[in-house]
Amino acid sequence: MFPNALLQWEDFAPGNGRRILETYRERICTFNDDMQGTGAITLAAAISAGRACGNPLRGQRVVIFGSGTAGIGIADGLRDAMMNEGLSKREATERIWCVDKAGC
C-alpha cells in the first residue's frame, strides 16, 4: 500500500530485533530504533570523542552495560566502525564486552 514508506519500530520483545530486520530487510525499508537508532547515536559520540582526543576507535576497549537490543546494536556499530578502521572482525569483537546487571 505504501511502497516508499520507512517502517520505524521498537522491539516487541527482547531478541526479536535482529530476527525481524534480517527477515524483512530485503522486502521493505525498515529501521529498528533500539538497534540502529541508539547504536548510531552512540557510535557518533564515540567517534567524535576519539577524534577530539586523537585516539581512533580501533584502539579503544569498550564495556557496554546492558546486553539488550540497544546494547547489542551499540556493539554492532562499534565493531563495524573498528573494522572500517582496519581491524579484523575478530580483533574488533575482542575489544568489546557486553555485560548485564549480573555482570555477565
What would the pLDDT profile of 30-72 be if each residue is shown by its tens digit? 888 888 899 999 999 999 999 999 999 999 999 999 888 889 8
Question: 40: which 3 cell numbers?
Answer: 548510531
Report the pLDDT averaged over residues 2-28.
83
Q: Give me the phi and psi of 50, to 5 degrees please.
A: -60, -45
The answer to whether 73 touches 34, Cβ cutoff 8 Å, is: yes
Residue 12 has pLDDT above 80, yes or no: no
The CA distances from residue 102 to 28, 35, 38, 65, 73, in Å, are 37, 22, 22, 10, 20
Half-sphere exposure of 63 (CA within 13 A, CB side): 6
pTM over 0.85: no
69-95 pLDDT, tens per residue?
Answer: 889 899 999 999 999 999 999 999 999
Residue 67 pLDDT: 83
